[in-house]
Structure 1
């Protein structure tokens, strides 16, 4: 059953603006297995115990992701490996992978997602199937990350996305598991804030991490937007500060994050943090995070 939680109507006026320090508190960053050296090089720029998500991408082995988790833990961060349901070949493979993450990297949190294969490669068709398997609880996983899609999903209609989110909420709450929601990245604060308002009205009070694209070339940002189905109209690009005619220019999320700070209402919208996708490199994103406060003065 859904929790019976009263959520105030969202107010986006200036008096309720979310302080910079609150939005950046306990931010997270995402890497792949090949980014371990970059993470080590940027480690002095990131706060101790920062959550480091380790994505599951095509062509990257379990060994690479376990090694990335080990590196993140050694550097003093909290590794959060992704488990892509449709990429798991068998229950035995999932069991062995979870055991390695726990044994080798002392993992306490996981992010579960269906994954991009159209047809499951094994017994798990989506993240709900992973949660229902019972293996996560078996290994003492205390916190689960799930995905949110403020601008929709290229393969799933919007009403179904909300239905699935509510089902995950019910399942995780009944199992006594802590969870948070990390969104796809965006260039436009408007749909993100509207989505958060709707989530809260559903009675879902879990912390939300808003996906933020780290500094990268305009060409790179547009490429990832196309892959992920993120809105990238000329109007949105202009609002974000991107110029389609200057594809090699580097663009950062200053405008996007500043608007989130200005418009998010903490009393109405609950715990909201940032999750960084370092499309232009871990180092560049870490430097942006460090420099953003002084750049706003």
Structure 2
């Protein structure tokens, strides 16, 4: 049964975006299509160096947006490298907001196993960090049990509180609004009442979406078809998160205790394409 059309789209009032270090030029190209002060996260990929990531974060700031650099714990090779990254970001005025993740490598490249290890250095605030983003996994993780994910979330949240750092939760991209809603309710039972940014892909090719979904263990192909709203018979087509966002907004309208939720777009199909899609979606949903 189709959900009633929401009367508002509050989830889109403060949406955020995500780019890679190689997207500096894309930020400039999309500048006119993105509201000022939009948060734009800059990922920490293994095939990009610090200079590339910093250049992208500067491009975000210089375009009038809010940069949120990522740090991937397992890709940091030493304490000295960790401090160098923080010092460089601080010197350029880019360290206030960070997003911390464990990272993809199965074995850490240095002394840091996960995001909690970076938090537990107790050094973040020394470099001007005031807000720390941490991960959420509403549809689980292919390599980590839900119990471990839940425990890690609580540990990170408590460690940030002890250091008077502001936590913000950003979830892995999701396709199932019901699963996300259930997960948000669980998070709230841990005492976290702050913002949760719900990850979803921007418009992208269906084959690419399926590839990312398989890679991150988010959902089966059949599940995506049902919950996200596209057909496997048209793999050359593109799909946007229209249905997912409307379903999430309906859940929030029905249950305001879900709290402060916003959408975080993974720009698999390109930054400008995502930004323009947001404008069009908000316009037609009024």
- Matched pairs, number: 283
**Alignment map for 1:45-64 (pairs within 5 Å):** 45-64=33-52
Greater Cα shift, 263-272 or 32-41: 263-272
CA shift, 1:143, in A, is 0.2
CA shift, 1:26, in A, is 1.9
Alignment check: 8 A CA contact 2:95 2:128 kept: no
Alignment check: 8 A CA contact 1:26 1:50 kept: yes
**Alignment map for 1:144-183 (pairs within 5 Å):** 144-183=132-171
Alignment check: 8 A CA contact 2:210 2:221 kept: no
CA shift, 1:135, in A, is 2.1
The partner residue of 1:255 within 221, 228, 243 is: 243
**Alignment map for 1:13-162 (pairs within 5 Å):** 19-20=8-9, 22-162=10-150
Q: Which residue of 2 aligns with 1:284?
A: 273
Q: TM-score, normalised by structure 2?
A: 0.95
Q: Structure 1 36/216 Cα, relative in aligned 2: closer, same or farther at 3 Å? A: same
RMSD of Structure 2 on Structure 1 (CA): 1.7
CA distance in 2, matches of 1:58, 1:294: 38
CA shift, 1:106, in A, is 3.2
Residues 54-94 of structure 1 show CA distances to partners (whole Å, capped at 9, x for unaligned) of: 01112111111010011111111111000000000111111
Q: Which residue of 1 aligns with 2:264?
A: 275
CA shift, 1:14, in A, is 7.0
Q: Which runs of 4+ in 1 moved over 6 A?
A: none
CA distance in 2, matches of 1:50, 1:94: 27
CA distance in 1, matches of 2:153, 2:126: 23
Q: Which residue of 2 aligns with 1:216?
A: 204
Q: Structure 1 19/78 Cα, relative in aligned 2: closer, same or farther at 3 Å? A: same
Could you tell me which runs of 5 or more consecutive residues in structure 1 were left unpaired when the two chains were aligned.
Answer: 1-12
CA shift, 1:105, in A, is 4.3
SS of the aligned residue for 1:130 comes to helix
Alignment check: 8 A CA contact 2:138 2:171 kept: yes
